Amino acid sequence: MSMGDKSGFFANWQTLDAEKYLILEYYFETTSPPDEAAAHLCQEQSTAQWKRVGVDEDLRERFGAKVIDLVVEKTFDKPNYPTLATNQTQSYGCRVRIAHPHENFGPKIPNMLTAVAGEGAFHSPGISVIKLLDIEFPESFLQHFEGPKFGVEGLRDRLQVYDRPLFFGVIKPNIGLPPKPFAELAFQGWLGGLDIAKDDEMLGDVCWSPLRERAELLGKARLKAEEITGEKKIYLANITDEVDRLLELHDIAVERGANALMVNGMTTGLSAIRMLRKHTQVPLVAHFDFIAPFTLIPDFGIHSPLVTKLQRIVGFDAIIYPGFGARMKTPDIEVLQSAQACLNPLGQIKPSLPVPAGSQWAGTTGDLYKKLGTVDFGIVPGRAVFEHPMGPRGGAASLRQGWEAVEKGVSLEAYAAEHPELKAAIEMIS
């Protein structure tokens, strides 16, 4: 790459019109000179060939992605990921900020993903590993996105719960039960204190548990539980399915009493969620299937808090994502950044409720509260509620008791002395 070729892909951010660009932040490793690798990265993701043969033109000024900051953070004796490098010499670990003109694709999720995480980014000459860390959106771009219809406030309004975390429970056995006993489990969970009883991410509209019948029975059980407890309750139905069935399943479930809907958004594509958001009458909840394959590897793929941010932008009111603990393989800082991606100001887009998941039980709510520094989150245990030795009613009660202990500033063990459900939960875990 010649100096002239390279310099067209560099710019001073101060001289650019901020409203016209997304700012993309990447980490990458290269065995090439870092500035050349960064210029290639811009070229490959925007105007790869910027002039016609025999025509005196340069399309880079308007359409070229441009390096606005480049820092070499690390130097390696040889590439970190040898199979992805084209040679095995000294390698640089770099952080780059790129201003990408969003008129190249417009406010569209699939086209944006093509530019920021497509062939251009992942097959750029000289770059071995690359991770897309963040995207900053100007108002001019963000204004085209609807974001959550209800958000944290709308979700809380529906439950009339404002001063504590929300208690989700994943109804288990998650797979295999017909709707009737399944509804009975949810009913017991609501009686015990769940705010939201939910279908597992694996339970869709299947022949042995048709969504129509399940929503009917759980809708009725919910109303009964509301009557008995005097509390508002939510049945969160999983409508994950082929995208041309999402609106139909929305209607089937909502008409029968599901009052929130879950979709495994990466398996349908985030664009389908944006479509559903325009139609939905109830809050939408994200589950994180098919995200780990491109987020878990350090320094490669896409940074998980950015995926959370995108899920908020397309319209999820609550986002279940990998939380704290070794099984979820997600560094604590990423779990926190995802909570921030849900809650931090983002143009006109409402906040989403963060729901860090994985091996939750009565004892984890206090920890989460301390780590997140807010009550605006959900916890989403499965077996801790539905395999509780006193049954789902006892399991759900233990969750509420675990939080009461936090509220009263009492140790879990002390509070358990007078609360047998909590006591049994502690014994079950240890």
User: Angle at which helices 420-429 and 391-408 pack, to 10 degrees?
Assistant: 100
| Residue list 118-137, contact with a second copy (CB under 8 A) | 118-120, 122-123, 125, 128
Q: Which stretch binds a second copy (CB under 8 A): 147-155, 157-165, 225-233, 240-248?
A: 240-248
Site for a second copy in 324-383 (CB under 8 A): 326-329, 331, 357-358, 382-383
- List C-alpha distances in Å: 72 to 30, 43, 301: 10, 20, 19
Cβ proximity to a second copy, 328 vs 406, nearer residue: 328
Q: Binding to a second copy (CB under 8 A): which residues in 74-103?
A: 81, 83-84, 86, 103
What is the size of the binding site for a second copy (CB under 8 A)?
A: 97
146: closest CA among 303, 279, 47? Answer: 279
Q: How far is the CB of 409 from a second copy (least distance, A)?
A: 32
Least gap, CB of 375 to a second copy (angstroms): 25
**Token reading at 326:** 């070794």
DSSP assignments along 292-317, one per residue: HHHHSSTTSEE-HHHHHHHHHHHT-S
In the region spanning residues 1 to 40, those forming contacts with a second copy, defined by CB under 8 A, are: none
Q: Which is nearer to a second copy, 3 or 53 (CB)?
A: 53
Quick check: 167 binds a second copy (CB under 8 A)?
A: no
Cβ within 8 Å of residue 56, ≥6 positions away:
none
Which CB atom, from 168 or from 300, has the smaller least distance to a second copy? 300
What tokens were used for 250?
A: 């929305």
Does residue 146 interact with a second copy by CB under 8 A?
no
Please select the residue that binds a second copy; options are 8, 34, 301, 315, rule is CB under 8 A: 301
Regarding 111 and contact with a second copy (CB under 8 A), the answer is yes
In angstroms, give the least distance from the CB of 140 to a second copy: 13
Q: What is the dihedral of CA 42, 44, 47, 52, to 10 degrees?
A: 130
Cβ atoms of 200 and 380 closer than 8 Å: no
Identify whether 173 is preceded by a cis peptide bond (ω within 30 of 0). yes
Tokens 């944290």 sit on residue: 152
Our finding on whether 180 is near a second copy (CB under 8 A) is: no
Q: Does 242 bind a second copy (CB under 8 A)?
A: yes
Task: Convert residues 380-419 into a mask of x (bound to a second copy by CB under 8 A) and - (unbound).
Answer: --xx--xxxxxxx---------------------------
Angle subtended by helix axes 270-279 and 109-117, to nearest 10 = 160
**Ramachandran sector of residue 138 (left: φ over 0; alpha: ψ -120 to 50; beta: rest):** beta
Among the listed ranges 27-35, 110-118, 211-219, 372-380, the one in contact with a second copy (CB under 8 A) is 110-118
At residue 390's C-alpha, the angle toward residues 168 and 160, to 5°, is: 30
Check: CB of residue 389 under 8 Å from CB of residue 162: no
Residue with tokens 């005196």: 56
Query: Minimum Å distance from CB 268 to a second copy?
Result: 5
Shortest Å distance, C-beta 220 to a second copy: 20
Q: Which has the closest alpha carbon to 196: 40, 378, 44, 390?
A: 378
Least spacing, CB of residue 157 vs a second copy, in Å: 28
Which of 206/223 has CB closer to a second copy?
A: 206
β pairing state of 127-136 and 21-30:
antiparallel
Q: Does the footprint of a second copy cover residue 192 (CB under 8 A)?
A: no
Q: How far is the CB of 413 from a second copy (least distance, A)?
A: 24
Residue 52 as a binder of a second copy (CB under 8 A): the answer is yes
- Verify binding: residue 315, a second copy, rule CB under 8 A: no
Asked if residue 104 binds a second copy (CB under 8 A), the reply is yes
Structure tokens at 85: 């490098």
Residue 267 binds a second copy (CB under 8 A): yes
Token duo for residue 332:
């604590």
